[in-house]
Amino acid sequence: MLTLALLSALCGLASSVFLRVADKERACFTENLPSRTRLVGVYWTRLYDEQGYRYLPVHPDLEVNVLATDPDEQVLLSGSGGPEGNFSFTSRRTGNHRICLRSNSTRRPLVAGGALALHLDLRVGDRTNNYAQIAIEDKLTELQLRVRRLTEQVYHIQNNQDYYRLRLKEVHWIQSSTSRWIFWCVVVQTLCLVPLVAWSPAW
């Protein structure tokens, strides 16, 4: 039953932006995430036949490698899936997380004159919630589900506020470092110049 709900959820996300990638070409994306934020990615592939200007289904042998790294270049997620799949991870640190997808058709090469259409949908925070599934699991009425969605939204906004406060502190530190450098540079230059000017006639 849960599988059915998940399947229907995936079908519900059928509309999304896609890009054309060559075989074995990497498509990388960055997501700036606060800590403790969940990211869910759903992808599916089709083959684009440039001669016929149409989309064809892809062979099930096609592998898509997914690699997700955190701001410190530590691997958060590394795996391979079929032509369709999903992946998720929760960020441990605040910062730029990188998600790369790469198609690998080892067994059967792609049709000549064809590129892969890679559909990707990345969802962050409260948009990762499958409310249909939550309603079934927690046995919620419609009103309870609405309130639950509002709670999740507020939690996500609060998380973003904390993240923003942290980032602001970093920017303040950078700006004060810049002014400190300029200040001390001027002081040191003055300390170099004044003795040179004062004592050079004596030399």
Partner 1 sequence: MLFLGLGCLLLQVSAVLGTELTFELADNEKQCFYEALEKDVKFEIDFQVIAGGNYDVDSFVTDPQNNVLYNEKKKQYDSFSHTTTMAGTFKVCFSNEFSTFTHKTVYLDFRHGDEEPLIQTMNGATALTQLESSCVAIHEVLKVVDDSQTWYRLREAHDRTKAEHLLERVTYWSIGETVLLFVIGLGQVVMLKSFFSERKGSVAAAT
Cα separation of the two ends of the chain: 93
16 is a contact residue toward partner 1 (CB under 8 A): yes
Among 1, 75, 112, 198, binds partner 1 (CB under 8 A): 1
In the range 74-133, which residues lie near partner 1 by CB under 8 A? 117, 120-122, 124, 127, 129-132
Site string for partner 1, 129-168 (x = CB under 8 A): xxxx--xx-----xx-xxx-xx--xx-xx--xx-xx--xx
Q: How far is the CB of 92 from partner 1 (least distance, A)?
A: 19
Among 22, 24, 28, 88, binds partner 1 (CB under 8 A): 28
Which residues are bridge partners to 49 per DSSP?
A: 54, 114
DSSP state letters, 103-170: EE--SSPPPTTEEEEEEEEEEEGGGG--HHHHHHHTT--HHHHHHHHHHHHHHHHHHHHHHHHHHHHH
Burial class (CB in 10 A: 0-12, 13-18, 19+), 38: middle
3-state secondary structure of 200: coil
**C-beta of 74 vs 191, nearer to partner 1:** 191
What is the rounded CA–CA span in Å between residue 41 and residue 120?
A: 7
DSSP state of 59: P
**C-beta of 61 vs 166, nearer to partner 1:** 166
56 is a contact residue toward partner 1 (CB under 8 A): no
184 is a contact residue toward partner 1 (CB under 8 A): yes
CB 86 within 8 A of CB 22: no
Q: Which residues bind partner 1 (CB under 8 A)?
A: 1, 4-5, 8-9, 11-13, 15-20, 27-32, 117, 120-122, 124, 127, 129-132, 135-136, 142-143, 145-147, 149-150, 153-154, 156-157, 160-161, 163-164, 167-168, 170-171, 174-175, 177-178, 181-182, 184-185, 188-189, 192-193, 196, 200, 203
